[in-house]
Amino acid sequence: MVSVLQIQSDPRTTLRPQGCRDLFQSDAEHNIVVRHRSIDTEYSTTRCDEIQFAGQGHAENLWNGMLSFWLIKGGAELTRGGTTQTVDSGAAIVGPEFLHGGEWRGSWRAFALRIAPAYLAEIIPRRSKFKSVNGAWAMRLSENDQQVVLALRAVRADVRCNSPVGSLFRDSIAQTLIRYFFARYRGSDIRAAATRKGLSPRNMRRICEFIDANISQRLTLEMLASEVNMTAWNLSRQFKASNGIAPYQYVLQRRVELAKKQLRAPNRVSISELAVSLGFYDQSQFATTFKRHVGVTPSDFADT
């Protein structure tokens, strides 16, 4: 389900999208249109949004406490406190206390990957020197920084097609982007602070059993971590250290493996029922994912 908000100029009006913390205001003296789409239906450690802005006027959306990576297309000017800054196409990162408010003029579209404060605190050690992550700042990344651009495009494509692994994929990308940002743009590497040990055999067994028992659900890192009393960040790192793949990759592989067994079972269910039982959004998504991993469609696999 996608939450869509369209705002036309209205005097002294404050509007809040359903299910969102974002707050927009419009100015009757100008023609301003803001369109907000919360394109994911779950919000645990990360969240994705698409925003469109066109016209001239005052717009305010308070995202305090959330570090966010942006992929922007278009151009606009933001005037705030007597200072005007340009918003150009490209990638940007915005600090948790930055207020995207002021007098806007122009037209732009943006995709944002936002990171919950608790998750950010897990990734960045308490005693680290990265205090600059807190504050009202914004940084436009290099136009040639294709690593950030491609990562955000991958997340955007994943959530737009109702990701077959839910938030697990974008949570993993968020970790990578944060580490990359501090290494390249802050001159520091936070990877050394991350634990390199793997999960104990007992905890690995519990996680795998939990995934199998809840394979039809929209699994999150928080759900997996709670099973072994760990933080989402440590669970992700230790899981990969043990298996060589991220949790989202394991979940997807497991769904495909179980699908292969079910497709050749004597009393197999329909492909559409199987898709839902394995946690896929619909039969089409299941068929596409299955063919990507196996090389043939579910129907062809079942008939061989």
Distance of CA 207 to the CA centre of its chain: 22
**118 DSSP 8-state letter:** H
3-state secondary structure of 163: coil
Least trusted range by pLDDT, from 3-12, 164-173, 245-254, 280-289: 3-12
Token code pair at residue 126 = 């308490």
> pTM here?
0.76
pLDDT beyond 50 at 3: no
Residue 13 has pLDDT above 70, yes or no: no
Q: What is the pLDDT of residues 205-261, one digit of tens each?
A: 999 999 999 999 888 888 999 999 998 888 998 999 999 999 999 999 999 999 999
Instruction: Give 158-212 pLDDT, tens digit per residue.
Output: 888 888 888 899 888 888 888 787 777 766 666 544 456 889 999 999 999 999 9
DSSP state at residue 264: T
Residue 4 clears pLDDT 80, i.e. is over it:
no
Q: Which residue has the higher pLDDT, 23 or 104?
A: 104
Q: How many whole angstroms separate alpha carbon 261 and alpha carbon 252?
A: 15
Domains parsed from the chain with CATH numbers: 3-158 (2.60.120.10), 198-303 (1.10.10.60)
